Structure 1
């Protein structure tokens, strides 16, 4: 037995066993290999990738940009044939001119109605004067008629003139009421026409917006992705034409929930980029996701049915890249990185 332990093969086997056990402890970060540095390979560079799409339909008339080109804010990316929208704009302007003319005509109608009202009020004054004259004549003839001094014909004529004066006064008052209603009608009609003018102005603004939307420009500085739009292609609202990638980037690291203790906002972070020959860059923890990544999945797991196996969930952590690093300008959304956070640092 002593010879067995003293043999070289036994010592080699023991050494291999100890090394394997040490590797297992190191892989699972068990004592004495416990470390405050948390690392994850489930991390990627992210950016504000904007999908460029039209707001209206039409044929592509011009595509002045190419794949992966750098553009500035306001640069023309694509132009849609605007002939139809130009005619709609002219049509809206003509409708606005017609509504404004109708509004001006309504003002003239109101002025005419007010003039007729003043004429009717003058007629009332004239009818009142005629009535007073007729009443005065009747007041002189009536005593004479009782004494038989005047003829029956004169009496009848005076009575008829009095009745006619009273009827004329009533007609004049009715004409005043009609004229007042005409004025009110003109006022109400003007309000309707003013609303029509505002509607026509809104239609002109909409037509101008549609005309402007035929020219699709860059919303901000950045670089284009693959340009899928082609000259003469018919596009509709929402068609994906190209993507714009601004220069601003950050890192999203998906740590296991068991790695989060000790992490705080503002902690320094280091990460290596696969595409840059594993070059090391630095950053800081900016914020934590409000929920685990599984909560944002389209099809959420239902753990209330069947057998249950506990799986450590991953929580996205946003990392801001420190400025002033030369290699930071070479980062592109989608690149894989390996992130390390020293949780012992505050």
Structure 2
């Protein structure tokens, strides 16, 4: 510690020090006065804030178990991949991307010249079958005449054979003449059988089908023409239902279209729904029909009422292309997600787009289901 220097002795020439200020003691009445009380602002802070916190905590505690929410939800719509049923070159494209179309509206057209020729060829086949039917009828009539002529030949051959047999017994004819007459009888009888077979074949070909009552050959030709006409009609590809066109950039005039290859997608915008992937731990109190609130990232402030339509029959991993093989030993427990379909109870004020992100809250407090 630093040592204090001793006080210097006062000389006669030094000025006199100033007089000390008199000490003022507070009056006795001031010592008995109470301190000032806090104002209403301080009281509001002291009691209002804790009360507000208690109220908010109680409300959260009471309502936190009455609903479950997830932001792993997306707008879904039925999508139809429209493909041509016949192949050929595209000659006309009647739609564009994002266009609303009605059921039966033309989407695109394929060159149908070859299919028109097929219809003409099938029509010619019907005419040929009808001509053949006429020939068969004439052949059947001719076969009847042939049978009659063959029977006459048989009768003549039998009479001649009997005459030769009588002469043979008397020795007035030769063995060769006798054998020749007997051979003539055999040949005449064979011609009768042959004429009968030809007539039976003609009658069979002329017979009508048991179901249609039409000759089978003509019926086959008509079926061939009907198939050709169907293929010709399929060159005009039309919308199977109403919706919005998507991915129409694959349609180009002059492009070769392969039968069965998806050419354009039709989205059914009239019946959207939301697929919400809830955690498996959120499903304990969830039931089909419970009310739900839907909000969309694309439309802030838009809220749609809905209800639980279905709860998935399996988790997302069960229906994945490569499901996890937990039996290999590399098992780590992960909370699974279950798809829950949320139906809209009202028409959205904004146009829905397939794939939009959404937030879904399902109210599970009462556990009641919506009446079907």
Same fold (TM over 0.5): yes
1:112 aligns with 2:134: no
State the partner residue of 2:359: 338
State the partner residue of 1:219: 240
Summarize the alignment of residues 227-266 of structure 1 with structure 2, pairs less than 5 Å apart: 227-228=248-249, 229-246=251-268, 247-266=270-289
Q: Secondary structure at the match of 2:321?
A: coil
Match of 2:188 among 168, 172, 181: 172
Normalized per residue, the structure richer in helix is 1
Counterparts of 2:330 and 2:185, CA distance in 1: 101
Deviation string, structure 1 residues 85-115 (Cα, Å, up to 9, x no partner): 2223222332333234333323322332233
State the partner residue of 1:315: 338
Summarize the alignment of residues 71-150 of structure 1 with structure 2, pairs less than 5 Å apart: 71-125=101-155, 134=163, 138=166
Kept in 2: contact 1:138–1:162 (CA 8 A): no
Deviation at 1:285, TM superposition (A): 1.6
Counterparts of 1:267 and 1:184, CA distance in 2: 76
Kept in 2: contact 1:251–1:320 (CA 8 A): yes
State the partner residue of 1:43: 73
> TM-score, normalised on structure 2?
0.70
Deviation at 1:173, TM superposition (A): 2.1
Kept in 1: contact 2:304–2:348 (CA 8 A): no
Deviates more, 1:35-44 or 1:193-202: 193-202
Runs of 5+ unmatched residues, structure 1:
1-18, 146-154
Deviation at 1:62, TM superposition (A): 0.9
1:274 aligns with 2:297: yes
Q: 1:129 to 1:335 in 2, by over 3 A?
A: same
State the partner residue of 1:150: none
Deviation string, structure 1 residues 283-310 (Cα, Å, up to 9, x no partner): 2222222211111111111112243210
Runs of 5+ unmatched residues, structure 2:
1-52, 210-214
Deviation at 1:220, TM superposition (A): 1.0
Q: 1 or 2 for the larger relative contact order (CA 8 Å, sep ≥6)?
A: 1
Q: 1:260 to 1:165 in 2, by over 3 A?
A: same
Counterparts of 2:242 and 2:63, CA distance in 1: 48
Counterparts of 1:262 and 1:113, CA distance in 2: 87
Kept in 2: contact 1:138–1:159 (CA 8 A): no
Q: Secondary structure at the match of 1:175?
A: helix
| RMSD over equivalenced CA pairs, Å | 3.5
Aligned residues: 304
Kept in 2: contact 1:138–1:158 (CA 8 A): no
Q: 1:241 to 1:175 in 2, by over 3 A?
A: closer
State the partner residue of 1:52: 82
Deviation at 1:138, TM superposition (A): 4.8
Q: Secondary structure at the match of 2:275?
A: strand
> TM-score, normalised on structure 1?
0.75
State the partner residue of 1:152: none
Deviation string, structure 1 residues 198-254 (Cα, Å, up to 9, x no partner): 444333233222211110111111121242112222222244332211221111111
Match of 1:294 among 314, 317, 320: 317
Q: Secondary structure at the match of 1:248?
A: strand
